[in-house]
């Protein structure tokens, strides 16, 4: 039991005498103070895990600098990977973002106002079906209702929207016509 206590006592001494020099080392090399704190914490975690392999007290600081150097290198690599991933995601999002169909029509304010007058569930059923391209069974899964409820709500929402915006606002194939068209029969 005393070996565990000796191990903990040694670690405490190593930590107390090396924390500030390691923090200063990390602060000079990390972009953010929070990153430096993470590097020091990770360095001492490695020291704790490898405590029995730590060199003698005269060499321990140099060993800790070496550990901190590797932790910093990993931190920088992780940061670069995160930046590259972020850039790839931003490019994909830019490529995947399509214009809101309601914004492509001159009557978009009328459509938005009409949509706002629908109940929240009817509006969600309609937009998930039309703008997101989901089938009624898929919409049912998203909303946690039965497909029959979705089909009924969709039919009513389209009819109500047609009443609110008028039947003759859109030529065939126009977004308004698609939004207000009767629901197609879903394949079983």
Classify domain 101-180 by CATH number.
1.10.10.10
pLDDT on residue 176: 54
The CA-atom distances, in angstroms, between 101 and each of 104, 132, 186 are 5, 10, 22
Q: What is the pLDDT of residues 15-45, one digit of tens each?
A: 999 999 999 999 999 888 999 999 999 999 9
Domains of the chain, by residue range, sit at 2-96, 101-180
Could you say which DSSP state residue 144 is in?
T
Spatial distance between the Cα atoms of 133 and 92, rounded to a whole number of angstroms: 20
Contacts of 12 (CB under 8 A, 6+ apart): none
The CA-atom distances, in angstroms, between 68 and each of 16, 23, 45, 180, 184 are 16, 10, 11, 63, 63
Same fold for the pair 2-96 and 101-180: no
CATH topology of domain 2-96: Rna Polymerase Sigma Factor; Chain: A (1.10.1740)
**Which of 38-42, 79-83, 122-126, 164-168 is predicted least confidently?**
164-168
Q: Is 67 buried (19+), middle (13-18) or exposed (0-12) by CB count in 10 A?
A: buried
Spatial distance between the Cα atoms of 43 and 2, rounded to a whole number of angstroms: 25
Q: What is the chain's mean pLDDT, rounded?
A: 81
Which one, of 37, 40, 27, lies nearest residue 67 by Cα?
Answer: 40
Which one, of 93, 166, 95, 105, lies nearest residue 130 by Cα?
Answer: 105
pLDDT on residue 188: 40
126, 118 in Cβ contact below 8 A? yes
């Amino acid at each position: 039991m005393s070996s565990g206590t000796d191990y903990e006592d040694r670690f405490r001494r190593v930590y107390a005498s090396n924390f500030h020099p390691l923090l200063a080392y990390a602060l000079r090399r990390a972009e953010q103070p929070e990153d430096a704190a993470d590097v020091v914490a990770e360095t001492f975690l490695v020291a704790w895990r490898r405590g029995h392999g730590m060199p003698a007290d005269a060499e321990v600081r140099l060993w800790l600098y070496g550990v901190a150097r590797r932790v910093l290198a990993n931190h920088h690599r992780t940061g670069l990977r995160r930046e590259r991933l972020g850039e790839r995601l931003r490019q994909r999002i830019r490529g995947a973002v399509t214009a809101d169909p309601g914004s492509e029509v001159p009557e978009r304010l009328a459509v938005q106002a009409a949509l706002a007058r629908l109940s929240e569930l009817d509006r969600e059923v309609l937009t998930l079906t039309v703008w997101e391209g989901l089938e009624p069974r898929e919409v049912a899964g998203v909303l946690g209702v039965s497909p029959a409820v979705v089909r009924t709500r969709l039919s009513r929402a389209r009819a109500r929207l047609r009443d609110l915006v008028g039947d003759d606002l859109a030529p065939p194939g126009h977004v308004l016509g698609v939004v207000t068209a009767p629901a197609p029969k879903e394949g079983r």
